[in-house]
Structure 1
Amino acid sequence: MSDLTKNILHTICKYLSTEKSKSFLRKKYCQIFLRDYTRLYHPFLLLVRPDRFPQSARSFLYRNIMIPTILSNIVVVLYEPKDPINIGTTLRAMKNMGFRRLRIVEPAADDVWRISLAAPRSEQDIQGIQRFPSLSEALHDISYTVGLTARVRKANYVVMHPRPATQPLLAKAAEGSVALLFGREDSGLPNSALTRCDGYVTIPANPDYSSLNLGQAVLIMVYELFLAAQEAPLHTPDPKRSYPTADHAQLEGMYQQIEETLWGIEFIKTQTSRGIMRSIRNIFSRTRLDEREVRIMRGIFHEVMSFLGRKGVEPGKPIERDKHT
């Protein structure tokens, strides 16, 4: 069962247990949705098929079932935050807009009391913050990661503004987990973290004073997503895949194997050639590989290295580098 299915079932069951669900028709719509969901390859199709629900029911189900489900698939990740107050303002901004999943990676300080000062009456949410010792572990189950960056980088990143980025992100959140990755308050995301991202967003601001507080940046991004979710047209999804979309951990394993192979055949010879891996990541991030496709790619590159061994060719070795994440 996919995370999306679990979230939908949880949201429906939670809704049916509330006072709002006492309306017979609303209960009926939820039950039909629950029954028919497993028969179609995507929940959005249930809401765009007029033979299943009248317009009023589609609006009701989208607002009460699909929006909470989609938003629950979006995870905010803070990479090395320095001040617990900013963790609290981030959590408060998320709660304001209906987001609940917060992860922090190697915080400089993790003072629960100071977090609670900025996010009052949020004891359960503070307890629910997930903490990780590395970025790789924080993103292990994520299907798509977008990095928030304020600076123009030398690398050839395609950067969007928050508003036009919302529709693609909501569409991806309807298929799997999406991470919004924010960096340190003073320096943002390092290149080693940006390399792990599939997309990039920058918040336009006054160039003479463009530095945003971490909580402000999070609020702007989740606010735009919240607004877009309320008014999003229901696009017909892609055809059903036979295999789940590959998550971050699976893709990172593939990228590591590709890089080792390219060093092995001496396609990459120096540290300055590592930019080729960024291009390779960009290519694959646009294709949304599934688990089977990742296994095929890994099998190909494994066979390349095995072939070198069978021919008695000593493969090239990568030059050691510092690993920050």
Structure 2
Amino acid sequence: MPDIRVVVVGPKFEGNVGAIARCMANFGVEDLVLVNPCEIGETAMNRSKHGDYILRNARTVTSMEEAVEGCLLVVGTSGTVTKGDKNYARIPVDVREFAMDCRGYNEKIAFVFGREDIGLLQTELNRCDVLITIPADDKYPVMNLSHSVGVILYEMFQANRRPVRCEPCDGREKELLFQFFGDLLEEIDYNEARRESTTVMFRRMMGRAIPTKYEYNTIMGVFGDAARIIRNYQESGTKWGGK
């Protein structure tokens, strides 16, 4: 199974945090990071049962950026599903589909869970590489925080017992891909007002796909060809038609 970190942003009830630690112990996950949590005391310890060691070793930080530091893939979670294509920041992947795509993934993955009442803020969702959701009845699709952690870790645990997919690209390759994409937008003079949203959209696409090394090399080849053509335009004195 991938090296998993559970990040909980702004939990309001210590009992939920304790139950999360218990779920983590069930599936062999030990890295817990809490962002600006409520006070963690006896109730949380009692709920954690044999996962109390996870709770004792949990790190507390003041920002999501600190919480996901060192993680190659940042996975947001949400019970709110967008049906259309325009609000790409809230277009999720089914948790089981995502878990199957992660087979053979050896890098650090952060699963980020939001507050019990409002979940993750839009700015926090934008930092995520991919958004996943747990299918539930439309009448009441939002699950309890600790239950959500349990279901997601179960799916990751189960998927790891099945045949491994082709080797995914690593952290260095992923960041180089994003850098090339940003450089490409710069070279074609892409609309400044849309640049940030387009970059987030591209990050989400790659997060959902979890590209293999072969797919990564193919995409980088396309970017390389595009950069070469743009340079030829520039060297010939022809203005590139960006918008």
CA distance in 2, matches of 1:222, 1:123: 18
Residue correspondence of structure 1 range 82-231 to structure 2 within 5 A: 82-107=12-37, 109-153=38-82, 155-156=87-88, 157-172=90-105, 175-230=106-161
The count of aligned residue pairs is: 213
Whole-angstrom distance in 2 between the partners of 1:269 and 1:163: 37
2:210 matches 1:279: no
Task: Calculate the TM-score normalised by the size of structure 2.
Answer: 0.72
Instruction: Provide the C-alpha distance between the structure 2 equivalents of 1:283 and 1:162, rounded to a whole number of angstroms.
Output: 16
Query: Is 1:245 aligned to residue 176 of structure 2?
Result: no
Which structure has more relative contact order (CA 8 Å, sep 6+)? It is 2
Distance 1:127 1:211 in 2: 28
Q: Which amino acid aligns with 2:30?
A: R
Q: In structure 2, how many angstroms separate the alpha carbons of the residues matched to 1:193 and 1:159?
A: 15
Shift of 1:134: 1.0
Contact 2:34 2:59 in 1 (8 A): yes
Q: Return the letter of the residue paired with 2:202.
A: I
Specify whether residues 280 and 226 from structure 1 end up closer, same or farther in structure 2 by C-alpha distance, changes over 3 A only. closer
Segments ≥4 residues shifted beyond 3 Å: 264-270, 282-290
Q: Deviations over 1:189-244 (max 9, x none)?
A: 122111122222111112112221100111111112222223x1144x439x8xx5
Q: Secondary structure at the match of 2:45?
A: helix
Structure 2 CA distance for aligned equivalents of residues 254 and 171 of structure 1 = 25
CA contact (8 A) 1:74 1:177 kept: yes
TM-aligned CA distance change 1:123 to 1:150, over 3 Å? closer
Q: After TM superposition, list the pairs within 5 Å mapping 1:44-59 onto structure 2.
A: none
Q: Which amino acid aligns with 1:278?
A: V
Q: CA deviation at 1:158?
A: 4.3
Amino acid at match of 2:16: N
Instruction: Give me the whole-angstrom Cα distance separating, in 1, the residues matched to 2:173 and 2:43.
Output: 34
1:307 counterpart residue number: none
* Distance (Å, rounded) in 1 between the aligned partners of 2:104 and 2:126: 22
Q: TM-score, normalised by structure 1?
A: 0.55
Checking the alignment, whether the CA contact within 8 Å between 2:80 and 2:142 is kept in structure 1 is no
Change in Cα spacing, 1:265 to 1:82, as seen in structure 2 (3 Å) is farther
Give the number of the structure whose residues are more often strand, by fraction. 2
1:195 match: secondary structure: helix
Percent identity, aligned pairs only, is: 24
Partner of 1:201, secondary structure, is: strand
Distance (Å, rounded) in 2 between the aligned partners of 1:277 and 1:110 = 37
- Alpha-carbon distance in 2 for matches of 1:201, 1:195: 13
Shift of 1:171: 2.7
| CA 1:105–1:170: 2 relative to 1, 3 Å | farther
Correspondence 1:75 to 2:5: yes
- Provide closer, same or farther for how the CA distance between residues 96 and 238 of structure 1 changes in structure 2, counting only shifts above 3 A: closer
**Paired amino acid for 2:159:** A
Per the TM alignment, residue 112 of structure 1 is displaced from its structure 2 partner at its CA by 3.0
SS in 2 for 1:76: strand
Name the SS of the counterpart of 1:118 in structure 2.
helix
Structure 1 residue runs of 5 or longer lacking an equivalent are 1-69, 301-325
- Is contact 2:22–2:52 with CA below 8 Å preserved after alignment? no
